[in-house]
């Protein structure tokens, strides 16, 4: 009976179909191969637009108890490759070599296996083929991670709070020149604001960073954050006004009916070992002061009154 079961399972695995479609993907997004895509393929084919020349990582994230068993092929196209072109590897220009493989790293209860490759000039699309010999994964995600090399995923920040960039994601433990940081943050209408950047070293006050801010009436999508929206107001290349050596201040004001901001910070001229981001809001600071001056004393008086009531009146 055990032999029959083994043969049935063996036959089930090797009767998996080859894919008939290629999946469109984007950088820095995790794609769940169990729910977002079909898991009855022997391998997957992805189509990815080529956005910049440089290095990036293909990554598979699986549960720590799952087996590490998969492989990649990458094809670069110098034309607008169709799904059929990608699926059939038609007329590709170049097959980048993979650095197989970089050290795996933990993310909670999961392990990420990265494979680095590099794009070249004049390309338009990548075709990526992922083979999964073992189909019994409890958890499997796939992403193309460029945030160590070119630009970040969208960071969700809060007003009037410090945020230090995690440099551990970069191989050399520095934020590389040209790196772009993308932020989505709630805001207030008709508010005076500043993007404040703090470094550990002295850099050129006018050219070290480029800061762009766009304003939205509702939560902006990732596409709007990365590419902007011509129908929404934006403050481009805001000028630094700080004279302090290691502090940069980029002031701007929000318009009416503004509830969210997207922020792009570009590290223009140097590798950075440290960068702290602080998004100052005048309205947000006033609200915080009111809470401290009015609301907290009221709550304190109420708590004291309740304590006295329980102590002297609660038993009667």
The pLDDT of residue 218 = 95
Write out pLDDT tens, residues 5-63.
Answer: 333 333 333 445 566 678 888 887 888 887 756 556 678 889 988 877 778 888 999 88
Q: Kindly give the pairing relationship between strand 234-235 and strand 209-216.
A: antiparallel
Task: Report which listed range, 135-144, 151-160, 251-260, is most confident.
Answer: 251-260
The pLDDT of residue 295 = 53
Separation CA 100–CA 72 (nearest Å) = 10
Separation CA 243–CA 252 (nearest Å) = 17
Burial of 12 (0-12, 13-18, 19+ CB in 10 A): exposed
Nearest to 167 by CA among 152, 182, 156, 178: 152
Please, which pLDDT band fits residue 83 given cuts at 50, 70 and 90? confident
Q: Are 214 and 254 in contact (CB under 8 A)?
A: no
Write out pLDDT tens, residues 44-60.
Answer: 889 988 877 778 888 99
* Average pLDDT estimate for 137-141: 83
pLDDT at 291 over 70: no
Check residues 259 and 225 and name the one with the higher pLDDT.
259
Cβ neighbours of 113 (radius 10 Å): 17
The pLDDT of residue 204 = 95
Write out pLDDT tens, residues 168-203.
Answer: 777 667 888 888 899 999 999 999 999 999 999 999
pLDDT at 207 over 90: yes
Per-residue DSSP letter, 243: -
* Structural domains in the chain, sorted by start: 16-145 (2.60.120), 152-286 (2.60.120.380)
Please give the share of the chain, as a percent, with pLDDT higher than 70: 79
| Residue entry with tokens 């960071």 | 155
Q: Are 157 and 279 in contact (CB under 8 A)?
A: yes
Nearest 5°: the CA angle 244, 249, 253 is: 150
* Average pLDDT estimate for 258-285: 94
Q: 135 in helix, strand or coil?
A: coil
Please give the share of the chain, as a percent, with pLDDT higher than 90: 34
Check residues 159 and 132 and name the one with the higher pLDDT.
159
pLDDT at 285 over 50: yes
φ/ψ bin of 131: left (φ > 0), alpha (ψ from -120 to 50), beta (otherwise): beta
Please, which pLDDT band fits residue 155 given cuts at 50, 70 and 90? very high
The pLDDT of residue 228 = 79
Please, which pLDDT band fits residue 205 given cuts at 50, 70 and 90? very high
Check residues 242 and 111 and name the one with the higher pLDDT.
242
With residue 212 as reference, give the H or E element that holds it. strand 209-216
The pLDDT of residue 135 = 60
Exposure on the CB side of residue 204, measured as CA atoms within 13 A: 10
Q: Are 261 and 194 in contact (CB under 8 A)?
A: no
The average confidence (pLDDT) of the chain is 82
């Amino acid at each position: 009976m055990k032999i029959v079961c083994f043969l049935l399972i063996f036959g089930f695995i090797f009767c998996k179909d080859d894919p008939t479609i290629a999946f469109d993907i984007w950088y820095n997004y995790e794609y769940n191969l169990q729910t977002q895509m079909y898991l009855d393929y022997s391998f997957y084919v992805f189509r990815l637009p080529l956005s910049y020349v440089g290095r990036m990582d293909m990554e598979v994230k699986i549960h720590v108890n799952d087996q590490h068993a998969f492989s990649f092929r990458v094809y670069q196209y110098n034309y607008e490759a169709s799904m059929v072109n990608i699926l059939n590897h038609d007329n590709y220009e170049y097959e980048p070599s993979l650095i197989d493989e970089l050290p795996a790293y933990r993310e909670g209860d999961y392990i990420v296996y990265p494979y680095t490759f590099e794009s070249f000039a004049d390309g338009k699309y990548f075709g990526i083929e992922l083979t999964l010999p073992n189909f019994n994964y409890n958890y499997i995600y796939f992403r193309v991670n460029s945030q160590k090399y070119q630009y970040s995923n969208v960071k969700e920040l809060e007003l009037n709070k410090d945020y230090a960039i995690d440099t551990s994601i970069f191989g050399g433990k520095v934020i590389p020149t040209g790196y772009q940081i993308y932020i989505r943050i709630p805001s207030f209408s008709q508010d005076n604001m500043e993007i404040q950047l703090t470094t550990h070293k002295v850099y050129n006050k006018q050219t070290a960073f480029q800061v762009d801010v766009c304003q939205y009436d509702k939560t902006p999508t990732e596409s709007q954050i990365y590419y902007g929206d011509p129908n929404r107001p934006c403050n481009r290349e805001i000028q630094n006004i700080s004279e302090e050596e290691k502090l940069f201040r980029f002031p701007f004001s929000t318009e009416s009916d503004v509830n969210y901001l997207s922020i792009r910070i570009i590290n223009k001229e140097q590798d950075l070992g440290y960068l702290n981001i602080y998004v100052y809001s005048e309205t947000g600071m006033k609200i915080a002061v009111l809470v401290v001056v009015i609301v907290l004393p009221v709550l304190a008086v109420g708590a004291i009154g309740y304590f006295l009531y329980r102590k002297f009146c609660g038993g009667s």
